[in-house]
Amino acid sequence: MPNTLILQLSRRDKIPADERRELLDLFANERVAPTGQELIPEGSRSSFSLLLLDGFAARFKTLSTGARQITGVHVPGDFLDLHGFLLKTLAYGVVALSDCRVMQADHENLRRITRASPHLARLLWMDTLIDASISREWLASMGRRSAEGHLAHLICELFTRLEVVQQTSGYSFRVPLKQADLADILGLSVVHVNRTLQSLRKQGLIIWEGMRVHIENWDGLVKIAEFDPTYLCLRSEPR
């Protein structure tokens, strides 16, 4: 069941038991997608939206040259395409970065819940606003942060988002991102990504081993990243 969604939303506001049941009743048809599978093709239309229960997925855009830009990374508890409820046609695709479990929420059920429960409607609206806020922060990183600052910011953000859904252990977390994926996120070559990782390691800030990241110096990483989690909207207050 999509308890990670409950963890995400309840970090931002109190959700009574009856509203939790309403949320859980939204979802059906759990399925598993293997690493590399397109969960949502670019330009697709759908009558439902997908919630990521487990694993990592990436929003992407592919150019005519075949070059891919990853424009967002999804963690457990994220809707992959809640925008599709209103936008109908999606101008991006979503791919599984690891084996993923997803469930779907039919748009008719979403329409019903937004009519019947204004508070839940506001929380789902907030979810899309946080997604947009993350995109703006990524845009600032792409345009103005150094390669080190950009990568440090990504690590700080992923750690913070995963901590909300109880997917961290101390300052350690699993992240199935290959250097090629990081290159598509950061807009760098794989060689430049490798050099940037080595620099963060040499400064004693992180250890990245396989699919696990250990943050050795959180304060130092935050300083390089200029990381301020305000854009993640983590304060619990009435919405």
pLDDT value of residue 108: 96
pLDDT value of residue 1: 55
Q: Which residues form the domain of 48? A: 3-137
What's the pLDDT tens digit per position in 106-119?
A: 999 999 999 999 99
Quick check: is 81 in a domain?
Answer: yes
Q: Which of 115, 137, 159 is the last residue of a domain?
A: 137
Whose CA is closest to 208, among 164, 238, 172, 180? 172
Q: Do 31 and 69 share a structural domain?
A: yes
Give per-10-residue mean pLDDT for the chain (239 aa): 88 96 93 97 94 97 94 97 94 97 97 95 97 98 97 98 97 96 97 98 97 98 98 96
Tell me, what CATH number does 188's domain have? 1.10.10.10
Q: Which of 110, 137, 164 is the last residue of a domain?
A: 137
Quick check: is 224 in a domain?
Answer: yes
Number of domains in the chain: 2
Q: Which phi-psi region, left, alpha or beta, contains residue 157 (left: φ > 0; alpha: ψ -120 to 50)?
A: alpha
Q: Do 164 and 81 share a structural domain?
A: no
Quick check: is 125 in a domain?
Answer: yes
Q: Do 126 and 175 share a structural domain?
A: no
pLDDT value of residue 201: 98
CA atoms within a 13 Å half-sphere pointing along the CA-CB vector of 184: 21
Tokens 């913070």: give the residue.
Answer: 160
Q: Do 15 and 74 share a structural domain?
A: yes
Query: How far apart are alpha carbons 103 and 230 in whole angstroms?
Result: 29
Concatenate the DSSP letters of all residues of 16-81 into one string: -HHHHHHHHHTEEEEEEE-TT-EEE-TT-B-SEEEEEEES-EEEEEE-TTS-EEEEEEE-TT-BS-
Q: Are strands 172-174 and 48-54 parallel, antiparallel or unpaired?
A: unpaired
Q: Is 15 helix (H, G, I), strand (E, B) or coil?
A: coil
Q: Do 116 and 65 share a structural domain?
A: yes
pLDDT value of residue 119: 97
Tell me, what CATH number does 133's domain have? 2.60.120.10
Q: Do 189 and 108 share a structural domain?
A: no
Contacts of 87 (CB under 8 A, 6+ apart): none
What's the pLDDT tens digit per position in 180-192?
A: 999 999 999 999 9
Quick check: is 237 in a domain?
Answer: no
Quick check: is 102 in a domain?
Answer: yes
pLDDT value of residue 171: 98
